[in-house]
């Protein structure tokens, strides 16, 4: 079925939110709704209608995202994807996603990215899992660092209310945003969400707290966290430090911030909901088993224009391959592309040469930020290798360190 689809007016905001509340099965608090409204780009929303009733929603954030090599690339950040339960299996989602990809292409963005509420949905629209995350807890009582952990006597910790040092937090983050693929610039409305501290944001874990690592030259790192206080039946403290955001411009400031959090009194455990899979804290701990981790997928990426996207990033090794791309959602991508890369740059052009490998576009999205699954996909029979070693060569060239991680859900 085909339904009318268009951007919403600001006057339709309540209906837009109601569809999301129903589709996700939540009731967003008023303060959170207002912050989300401030972040929303109304001209980049889409709503599907059945008569006068809004039955589907989605939107896009105009992001500047780091790709391998440190370049900030315009990326369409897909958000607010929801369909009323009454209209599932009627083509609403497919219509929205196809229209949205066409709009992203028209905007000149060669890449789309999203966080998937359900990981089984987006592969059929050409998105691949491009970044992973670890959620972990650390036993603070056994969290000694390795003997040669970096120390700088000139560094000190400053405790400050987060809202009062917002400008310093923004400046530090801006200085490190290109260091890891997947990070994206945070505009003012995003920062308002990062520092929000209403009762609904606290979720029983107390006020948002901030510490900064600095020397006489200025701020070199910060951490944002909450402390959930509690005592056992004998009166011994068993509080938890819940880390939300930790950024540093150098390893020494990074180590000092972690040491401070792990040394906080009246707490026995540190927990964090999302950190990179190669977070250096794993190397700093003398006993790595004290970090108990759970893996999860993070960012999903879709190449909207294969040639422009592949030419926009750096590569870890020289490359010259003809890649045949299967893409039935964005047919302009389907075909054979010669990708050549060396330290001076990359080029991707459509050709008629025989392919070295044939891949679904989602496989390229998965590998785009440097942590793809090309090898496992080949082993699973999801890729076709026509030239022996072609997949290994592509996987090596597209790999990157550090691993990708966006760090903030959008």
Q: Inter-axis angle of helices 30-39 and 13-24, to 10 degrees?
A: 120
Task: Write out the E strands in 276-318.
Answer: 291-297, 299-303
Single out the catalytic residue among 36, 61, 115, 122: 122
Query: Which residue's structure tokens are 């950024």?
Result: 247
Note if 410 is an active site residue. yes
The tens-digit pLDDT sequence of the chain (410 residues) is 689 999 999 999 999 999 999 999 989 899 999 999 999 999 999 999 999 999 999 999 999 999 999 999 999 999 999 999 999 999 999 999 999 999 999 999 999 999 999 999 999 999 999 999 999 999 999 999 999 999 999 999 999 999 999 999 999 999 999 999 999 999 999 999 999 999 989 988 999 999 999 999 999 999 999 999 998 999 898 999 999 999 999 999 999 999 999 999 999 999 999 999 999 999 999 999 999 999 999 999 999 999 999 999 999 999 999 999 999 999 999 999 999 999 889 999 999 999 999 999 999 999 999 998 999 999 999 999 999 999 999 999 999 999 999 999 99
Q: Is 117 annotated as a binding residue?
A: yes
Q: Is 122 a catalytic residue?
A: yes
For residues 278 and 134, give the distance between their C-alpha atoms in angstroms, rounded to a whole number.
9
Q: Which of 36, 115, 173, 410 is catalytic?
A: 410
Q: Is 249 annotated as a binding residue?
A: no
264 to each of 1, 36, 244, 258, 378, how far by Cα in Å? 58, 33, 16, 10, 47
CA distance 215 to 208: 23
Query: Does 11 count as an annotated binding residue?
Result: no
**355, 383 Cβ separation under 8 angstroms:** no
Cα 218 from Cα 236, distance rounded (Å): 38
CA–CA separation, 158 and 6 (whole Å): 49
Model pLDDT, residue 344: 87
Q: What H or E segment, with its residue span, contains residue 270?
A: strand 267-275
Residue 82, annotated as binding a ligand: yes
Q: What is the pLDDT of residue 237?
A: 85
94 labelled ligand-binding:
yes
Per the annotation, does 154 bind a ligand? Answer: no
- 211 annotated as ligand-binding: no
Whether 91 has a binding-site annotation, put simply, is yes
């Amino acid at each position: 079925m085909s339904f009318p689809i268009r951007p919403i007016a600001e006057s339709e905001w309540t209906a837009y939110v109601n569809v999301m509340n129903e589709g996700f099965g939540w009731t967003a608090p008023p303060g959170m709704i207002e912050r989300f409204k401030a972040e929303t780009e109304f001209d980049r929303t889409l709503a599907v209608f059945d008569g006068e009733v809004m039955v589907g929603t989605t939107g896009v954030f105009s992001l500047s995202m780091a790709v391998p090599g440190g370049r900030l690339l315009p990326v369409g950040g897909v958000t607010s994807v929801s369909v009323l339960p009454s209209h599932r299996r009627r083509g609403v989602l497919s219509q929205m996603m196809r229209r949205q990809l066409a709009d992203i292409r028209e905007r000149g963005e060669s890449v789309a990215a999203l966080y998937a509420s359900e990981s089984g949905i987006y592969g059929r629209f050409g998105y691949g899992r491009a970044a992973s995350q670890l959620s972990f807890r650390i036993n603070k009582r056994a969290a000694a660092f390795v003997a040669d952990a970096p120390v700088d006597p000139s560094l000190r910790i400053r405790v400050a209310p987060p809202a009062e040092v917002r400008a310093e937090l923004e400046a530090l983050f801006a200085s490190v945003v290109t260091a890891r693929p997947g990070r994206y610039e945070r505009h003012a409305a995003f920062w308002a969400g990062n520092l929000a501290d209403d009762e609904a944001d606290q979720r029983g874990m107390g006020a948002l707290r901030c510490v900064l690592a600095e020397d006489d030259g200025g701020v070199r790192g910060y951490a944002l966290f909450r402390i959930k206080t509690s005592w056992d039946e004998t009166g011994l403290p068993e509080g938890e430090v819940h880390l939300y955001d930790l950024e540093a411009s150098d390893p020494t400031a990074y180590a000092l911030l972690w040491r401070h959090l792990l040394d906080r009194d009246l707490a026995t455990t540190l927990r964090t909901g999302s950190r990179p899979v190669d977070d250096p804290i794993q190397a700093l701990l003398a006993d790595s088993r004290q970090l108990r981790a759970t893996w999860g997928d993070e960012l999903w990426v879709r190449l909207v224009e294969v040639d422009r996207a592949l030419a926009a990033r750096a590569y870890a090794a020289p490359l010259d391959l003809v890649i045949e791309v299967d893409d039935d959602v964005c047919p302009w991508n389907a075909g054979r592309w010669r990708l050549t890369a060396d330290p001076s740059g990359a080029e991707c052009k459509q050709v008629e040469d025989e392919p070295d490998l044939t891949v679904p576009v989602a496989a390229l999205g998965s590998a785009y930020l440097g942590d793809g699954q090309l090898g496992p996909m080949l082993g699973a029979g999801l890729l076709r290798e026509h030239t022996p070693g072609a997949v290994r060569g592509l996987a090596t060239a597209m790999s990157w360190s550090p691993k990708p991680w966006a760090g903030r859900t959008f």
